[in-house]
């Protein structure tokens, strides 16, 4: 591909683009004329909107301590922490405060307040940003 940019008067630019294939043959040129006006400078790039979820005491007996954080600052909506069993059934659901980072200690109980049995569980932290997921191995108390 070949491109040519010509500056004209009054902020007018003419951009001409020509495609060139591997054999060196060129297509018809395509041109565009645009007027650029002054304005605010471009915004600096924003950090990626990443959700982080870490677990302490894993594997272990409850309580399970979750630490979370959102690269890019406070999420636009309150985050949700959900725990699922190995079959995919939601066993616990909590709305967390709208903070850029925080911790929560989960006592290993389901939404009805019953102790969950030892086993494999999955935790998910979600907002409007991509969700973070981690495995939890609950052990039976001694």
Note whether 70 and 108 are same-domain residues: yes
Note whether 87 and 112 are same-domain residues: yes
Note whether 79 and 19 are same-domain residues: no
CATH code of 62's domain: 2.60.40.4070
Per-residue pLDDT tens digits for 24-57: 666 666 666 666 665 555 565 555 567 889 998 8
Give me the number of domains the chain comprises.
Answer: 2
Q: Under DSSP, is residue 9 helix (H, G, I), strand (E, B) or coil?
A: helix
Q: In this structure, is residue 42 part of a structural domain?
A: no
Per-residue pLDDT tens digits for 65-106: 999 888 878 888 899 999 999 999 999 999 999 998 999 999
Q: How far is CA 56 from the centre of its chain?
A: 22
Note whether 10 and 73 are same-domain residues: no
Domain coverage including residue 27: 2-35
Note whether 8 and 55 are same-domain residues: no
């Amino acid at each position: 591909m070949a491109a040519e940019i010509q500056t004209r008067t009054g902020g007018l630019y003419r951009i001409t683009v020509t495609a060139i294939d591997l054999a060196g043959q060129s297509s018809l040129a395509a041109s565009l004329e645009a007027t650029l006006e002054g304005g605010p400078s471009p915004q600096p790039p924003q950090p990626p909107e990443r959700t982080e979820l870490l677990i302490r005491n894993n594997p272990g007996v409850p309580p399970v301590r979750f630490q979370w954080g959102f690269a890019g600052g406070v999420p636009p909506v309150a985050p949700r922490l959900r725990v699922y069993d190995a079959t995919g059934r939601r066993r616990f659901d909590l709305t967390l405060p709208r903070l850029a980072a925080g911790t929560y200690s989960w006592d290993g109980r389901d939404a009805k307040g019953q102790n969950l049995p030892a086993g494999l569980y999955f935790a998910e932290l979600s907002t409007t940003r991509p969700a973070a997921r981690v495995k939890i191995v609950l052990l039976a108390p001694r």
